[in-house]
Amino acid sequence: MIVQGQHELPLFVHLKGTLDKITILFKPLGLNHFIQNSIIKIAGEPSQVFTDWDEDKNCKKFLFSFYSTDNFIERIAVLENYLLSRYHY
């Protein structure tokens, strides 16, 4: 997973072939409700690999379930359930 921080200039990407991904756009500081570490530690650069969930035993199950189906409705349910399991005030 990759965290894209705020960019001062547009980020242009040229992709070849198919790409199976999802993008979640959090409101400012919204990601804080789903992480244990400081947002500065996790997303201090414009782009970096997201590792905060690596130790979560349910993360691999989530990713497997998410990519095991092509049904978008099922994927949304899997994603929402995982995010709810990570949510904290």
**pLDDT tens sequence across 19-40:** 898 888 888 788 899 998 888 8
Integer angstrom CA distances of residue 70 from 22, 32, 75: 12, 29, 8
Number of structural domains found in the chain = 1
Q: Which residue stretches of the chain have pLDDT < 70?
A: none
pTM for the model: 0.80
Distance CA 34, CA 36 (A): 7
Q: Residue 38's domain spans which residues? A: 2-86
